[in-house]
Structure formats: C-alpha cells, structure tokens
C-alpha cells in the first residue's frame, strides 16, 4: 500500500511578496554567478570510469553523459505524429502546441558533427532516441537510408569512445500508430491508423509493431549498442498524450473515465515495454561492453519530489499526506512496481490486480529523471477524483502550489520549482523501494538562458547523487538534459535546456557555462572542491535573467 515519507521545508505563502522582491533585486546582477560558498572548500568527488548499467561489475562505476530525443532535435519529418499535431491548420495540420516542430534543431543533418560537442566535453556516454517514424514511415515499410543514418551516428560515437544508450520510444510515434487527425478511429484499425495504445483491437497491434521495431534495431545496432531504454517517462507521456491531450494523439481522458479510458492505455504501454524488452534480448547478439550480457534493457521514469500541501503551505494534515503518498505511488512507483512484479494495479487502489503477460522481471536498470518539486493536496476531494488529490502542475493552482524553497529555484519557463535535494529524495526513495535495481540518472537539467544556473544545476545534481551513493544507493551515472537546445514538446522552443545554446537562425551551437563545467568534471573525472564552492550547495542560485513575473509562474498564477 501507500507509504509515507517526511516532507521537506518550504517557505510560506505569506512571505511571497518579500521573496519576489528579493528575486527582483537579485536579477539586477543576473549574468553573474552567485558568490562562492563561505567556509572551507568542500572535498572533491572523484568518479570511476563508466561501466555496465546492470551487471554487478558495474557497481561503483559512473557515467557522465548528455541526453536528447529524436523528435526534439531532428530536421523536419512529416511521418511523425508531432509534425501533423503542430503543423499550422492552414497548412493541413492541427496547429496544436506552442510552436510547429519544423526543423527542430537540425539534429538529423548535423548528427555527426554534433558528436564533436560530446567529445569536446569529454563525456563518456550519449543517450538519444531513434525516430521510429523515420525507420518505418509507413507500416512495415523499412527505410534503409534511415537505418544507415543511425548506423553512421553509432560508428562515430563508438570511434569517439562514447557509449550509446538508445531510447526506443521517446514521446513520439509514426502517424500510422495513432493518427492525431482521426482520434475517433471510426473504421477501426487500418494500416494508415492502428488507433493506438488502449484501443481494444488496435492496442495489441501497436504492441506487436513496437516489438518488431525493437527487434530490428537490436539486430542492426546490437554489435555497438548494449544499453537500451524501452520507454521514456511512461506515466508522464501517457498523462500528456492520453490524459490531458496536450501531446499527440491528443486524447483527453483524465477528467472523464480515468479507469475505463486511461488505464487500458497504461496497460498496453507496459505490455509494449515487456514485448520490446524480450524482442531486444532475443535479437541483440553483441556484448559491446563485455559485461556478459548482450543487452542491458531498462526504462526511464519521471520522478518528482511530491510534498503534501494545503492552502499553499506544506501540510501534515492526514488528508494531504495521503494525497501526497497516492501521487508518489502512481507517478513515481506504479510503472516500476508493475514491470518488476508483472501485475498492474488497474483500479489504482494501491494493490496490483491485473496480470500482464510477459512483463514480470523485464527491467535490468532504472533510469531516473528529476526536474521538479511540487505540492499535492487532498482538500475538497481533488481534481483527480479516483485518486482524491490535486497536484500543482503546469501552473494549475487549486491550493496545492507552494512557494519555492528559494525564489531563485523557480524555473519560470516550465512553471515549476527545481529543488536540487529533490533528486536525493527520489533516489533514496527508489533505492529503498527497489534495492536490487541499479539506478542511473538518465535526465536532469533546467530550462534557463543563464549559463551559471545550468552549471549550478549540474554541480548540485552531482552532489545530491553523491549523498545518495554514500548511503549505498547504486547510482551509475548522470546524463544532463540536454546536449543542446531543442523543441520542448507542447512548450515549443522557448524553454532552453541545452548545454549548448542553439541559434535558431543559423543552427550554430555555442557552449554555455554548463558545458564548460560538465566538461571540466568529465575530463578530470572529478567534481572538484573548487567547482563545488563556486556552483554547489543549497544557497540561492544565480537568478534567471527573464521577466520579473518569473516567480509568479511557479505559484500557479
């Protein structure tokens, strides 16, 4: 059943005006780094080399890498669902989201030269996704040129000594999987539209197709690739694509029949994970890292630091604590519980009840992705009735939104708070719940235009990882999100997550202070005391350079 964890500290709503004023004053010197921490220089944190993500031999190893996803970076691709979803209506698309994905960051044509960015920083691994819609733009029609493209990218990575980690499914589909223009799918599944996960006839076909795609990639790339991630942030993705409808295919079930409409989608998605896991294991024959396993297969989870809240204050009211625990359970735990145990809690009551054939034990490692801390309230029964809770997400405020621990922790572009110790909280929680499962931070980062803030987020994340490792939590690496600025899904191009900034006029990439700092750490295999003193700790961060209303965006206004 649900478990309770003590809450962290947070400033009260009453202090907000003062905090906002402080944030504004600090913005005057927004391009400067915060002053070094007073007191003695903290000790350096040395890193062993990269190792296996799943074998016992990989314990104690550590990867320093960067991550990206195909749709977010690659040049225009009319075969993806994001293309038709965001293409303006007068051009025949649905005009959804903040911007048309278009050429994203031209990461397809520049793929090989972009390897130099990883090399310059001395990173030892790159996590990226292969675009399914490029490989299979039409059902069962494989594009060999696209396979050859990723082949060349893999060769370039291997030659540079950079371990590839391939994500199979990162928030995008070929249009024919679930056409966002025809979500009612009236005629039933056809080759042009399989009707997507959760559809009674189409769901099983989609699962089969994803497994075939996985087998093809493992067969072609397995000699150079050991590390595979099947799914990226399953719960988050499904919430956006099938819950709120803000991602393609744009189906919104969250406020309707959650159990009847949303849970079948989740069931199919996790069945697809199991099928893909088995397909990769069967088809991958090369043991590139020599750990005795041809393929180390995991998935990446979005884990947030949920805090019980009421009326904009941290709360210890049992209703809110219960709501917080249910939120942590469905968001942070449900997917992993299901994949390890093979049974889904289909009525979300805290106990598994539905057998998912072929799913039990299909997880060699768990990717953890941490971006934010947020409040959850149980007051008034909640906007998610089945779970009787209301979280503070996307600026929607029904009393669950909390003031950031410090105003500089607000990430205005994303309307949430990035609180570094939240990473420690989720890692220790997951380490305790799944002690035998190796963890790796496959994403963490910040949307900011201030290089010093990115440097701070990197150094502080590594400090929090170290705290967790010191307790024995088996964390095997850190991948910064992202290698360079890109298409941030429904948010468009405004949030900038890159170690390298992208000039969207010329597509030139330029290093931020984040790239310099991560590079220094990776090349020296140490987070030095000097870097910690300059960027680490729990002091306020360098303020964001943008709008004064920034802080307000984290308060649900």
Q: Which positions touch ligand FCB (CB under 6 A)?
A: 69, 72, 232-233, 236, 302, 369, 443, 481, 488-489, 497
Q: Using omega within 30 degrees of 0 as the cis cutoff, is the peptide bond preceding 466 cis?
A: no
How far is CA 38 from each of CA 6, 32, 541, rounded to the nearest angstrom?
29, 17, 15
DSSP single-letter state for residue 364? S
For residue 24, the minimal CB distance to ligand FCB (Å) is: 26
What is the 3-class SS of 401-415, one letter each residue? CCCCCCHHHEEHHHC
In the complex, minimum distance from the CB of residue 442 to ligand FCB, in angstroms, rounded to a whole number: 9
Q: Of 302 and 528, which CB lies nearer to ligand FCB in the complex structure?
A: 302
Taking the least distance from each CB to ligand FCB, the nearer of 99 and 147 is 99
- Smallest separation, CB 445 to ligand FCB (Å): 7
Query: Is the distance from CB of 103 to CB of 518 less than 8 angstroms?
Result: no
Nearer to ligand FCB, 47 or 132 (CB): 132
CA distances from 24 to 230, 305, 456, 550 (A): 43, 26, 19, 9
Nearer to ligand FCB, 262 or 497 (CB): 497
Least Å from the CB of residue 385 to ligand FCB:
26
Q: Where do we find the tokens 């990882």?
A: 465
CB of 491 to ligand FCB, least distance (A): 8
Burial readout 229-247 (b: 16 or more C-beta within 10 A, e: otherwise): bbbbbbbbbbbbbbbbbbb
Cβ-based burial of 506 (10 A; exposed 0-12, middle 13-18, buried ≥19): exposed
Nearer to ligand FCB, 72 or 448 (CB): 72
Task: DSSP for 123-143, please give it.
Answer: -SEEEEE--HHHH-SBTTB--
Q: Which CB, 7 or 68, lies closer to ligand FCB?
A: 68
Minimum CB separation of residue 234 from ligand FCB in Å reads 11
**CA pair distance 320, 291, nearest whole angstrom:** 45
Q: What are the beta bridge partners of residue 444?
A: 370
**Which residue minimizes CB distance to ligand FCB?**
69
Indicate the residue among 272 and 534 with the shorter CB distance to ligand FCB: 272
Residue from 126, 145, 110, 129 nearest 50 by CA: 126
In the complex, what is the shortest distance from the CB of residue 300 to ligand FCB, in angstroms, rounded to a whole number?
Answer: 7
Q: Which is nearer to ligand FCB, 61 or 448 (CB)?
A: 448
Q: How far is CA 291 from the centre of its chain?
A: 26
Task: Residue 402: name the closest of 384, 377, 427 by CA.
Answer: 377
> Closest distance between ligand FCB and the C-beta of residue 486, in Å?
8
**Minimum CB distance to ligand FCB smaller for 236 or for 362:** 236
Smallest separation (angstroms) from ligand FCB to the CB of 504: 17
Rounded to a whole number of angstroms, the minimum distance from the CB of residue 446 to ligand FCB is: 9
> Which one, 417 or 488, has the nearer CB to ligand FCB?
488
CA angle 324, 229, 384 (to 5 degrees): 25
CA proximity to 321, closest of 301, 340, 306, 302: 306
Spatial distance between the Cα atoms of 7 and 121, rounded to a whole number of angstroms: 37
């Amino acid at each position: 059943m649900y478990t309770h964890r003590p809450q962290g500290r947070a400033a009260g709503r009453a202090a907000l005006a003062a905090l906002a004023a402080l944030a504004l004053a600090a913005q005057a010197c927004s391009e400067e780094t915060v002053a070094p921490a007073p007191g003695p220089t903290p000790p350096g944190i040395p890193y062993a080399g990269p190792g296996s993500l799943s074998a016992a031999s990989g314990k104690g190893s550590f990867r320093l890498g960067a991550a990206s996803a195909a749709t977010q970076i690659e040049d225009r691709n009319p075969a993806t669902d994001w293309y038709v979803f965001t293409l303006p209506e007068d051009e025949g698309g649905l005009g959804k989201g903040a911007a048309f994905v278009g050429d994203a960051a031209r990461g397809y044509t520049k793929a090989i030269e972009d390897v130099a960015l990883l090399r310059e920083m001395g990173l030892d691994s790159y996590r990226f996704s292969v675009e399914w819609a490029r490989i299979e733009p039409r059902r069962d029609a494989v594009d060999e040129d696209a396979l050859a493209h990723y082949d060349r990218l893999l060769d370039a990575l291997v030659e540079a000594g950079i371990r590839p980690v391939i994500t199979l499914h990162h928030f995008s589909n070929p249009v024919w999987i679930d056409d966002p223009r025809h979500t009612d799918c009236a005629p039933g599944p056809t080759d042009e539209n399989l009707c997507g996960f959760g559809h009674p006839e189409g769901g099983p076909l989609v699962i089969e197709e994803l497994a075939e795609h996985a087998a093809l990639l493992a067969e072609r790339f397995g000699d150079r690739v050991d590390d595979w991630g099947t799914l990226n942030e399953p719960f988050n993705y499904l919430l956006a694509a099938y819950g709120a409808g803000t991602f393609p295919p744009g189906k919104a079930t969250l406020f309707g029949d959650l159990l009847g409409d949303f849970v079948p989608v989740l069931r199919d998605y996790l069945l697809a994970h199991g099928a893909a896991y088995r397909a990769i294991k069967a088809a991958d024959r090369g043991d590139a890292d020599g750990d005795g396993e041809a393929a180390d297969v995991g998935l990446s989870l979005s884990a947030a630091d949920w805090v019980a809240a009421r009326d904009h204050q941290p709360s210890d009211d049992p209703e809110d604590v219960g709501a917080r625990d249910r939120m942590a359970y469905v968001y942070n735990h449900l997917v992993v519980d299901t994949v390890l145990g093979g049974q889904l809690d289909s009525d979300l009551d805290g106990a598994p009840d539905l057998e998912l054939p072929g799913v039990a034990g299909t997880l060699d490692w768990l990717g953890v992705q941490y971006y934010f801390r947020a409040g959850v309230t149980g007051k008034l029964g909640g906007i998610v009735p089945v779970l009787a809770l209301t979280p503070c997400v996307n600026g929607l405020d029904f009393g669950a939104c909390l003031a950031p621990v410090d105003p500089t922790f607000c990430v205005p572009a994303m309307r949430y708070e990035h609180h570094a110790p939240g990473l420690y909280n989720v890692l220790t929680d997951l380490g305790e719940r799944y002690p035998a499962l190796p963890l790796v931070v496959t994403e963490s980062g910040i949307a900011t235009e201030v290089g010093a803030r990115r440097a701070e987020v990197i150094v502080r994340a590594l400090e929090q990882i170290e705290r967790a490792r010191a307790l024995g939590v088996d964390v095997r690496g850190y991948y910064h999100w992202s290698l360079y600025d890109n298409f941030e899904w429904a948010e468009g191009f405004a949030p900038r997550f890159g170690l390298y900034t992208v000039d969207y006029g010329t597509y030139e990439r330029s290093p931020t202070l984040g790239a310099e700092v991560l590079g220094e750490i990776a090349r020296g295999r140490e987070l030095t005391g000097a870097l910690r003193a300059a960027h680490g700790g729990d002091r306020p961060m360098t303020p964001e350079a943008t709008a004064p209303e920034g802080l307000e965006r984290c308060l649900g206004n």
